[in-house]
Amino acid sequence: MTHTRPDWLPADTQGPLDDKLGIRITEWDPERVVATMPVSGNEQPFGLLHGGATCALAESIGSWAAMLHAGPGGSVVGIELNSSYLRAATSGDVTAVCTPLRRGRTLATYLIEVSDDAGRPTASARLTCLIRPARKR
């Protein structure tokens, strides 16, 4: 299992939205990508983690997992995201763990489980990405 970002991925950022939300990927293994995101700054008006922030976390981590599958020079685009909210998070960080359900040549589907600092599930999501492999020249 690798915990570091592969050399062939762009090194400058994970993306502007990831930066704004404070999403940080801590494990870059194709079988298990893990990321954290703070609740603070990502709440809805009633003090709970915003569902949109949770969806952005799920889409980001799933897309990065799909990029690991696509490989150097490949690209991916999310085509479907389903999310269920299980428990409110009000402080600390949430952790998302992304594992593949199926990885094919053109489609890859991932399960993303989000939990709070106490390890309690807060959300579950499924992301399907279209895979565009590197073009051969």
Which is the catalytic residue, given 27, 43, 59, 113? 59
Measure CA 71 to chain center: 17
Neighbours of 118 (CB within 10 A): 9
Q: Is the separation of the CB atoms in 115 and 121 below 8 Å?
A: yes
Distance CA(48)–CA(45), nearest Å, equals 8
Judge whether 59 counts as a catalytic residue: yes
Distance CA(98)–CA(63), nearest Å, equals 10
| Residues with catalytic roles | 59
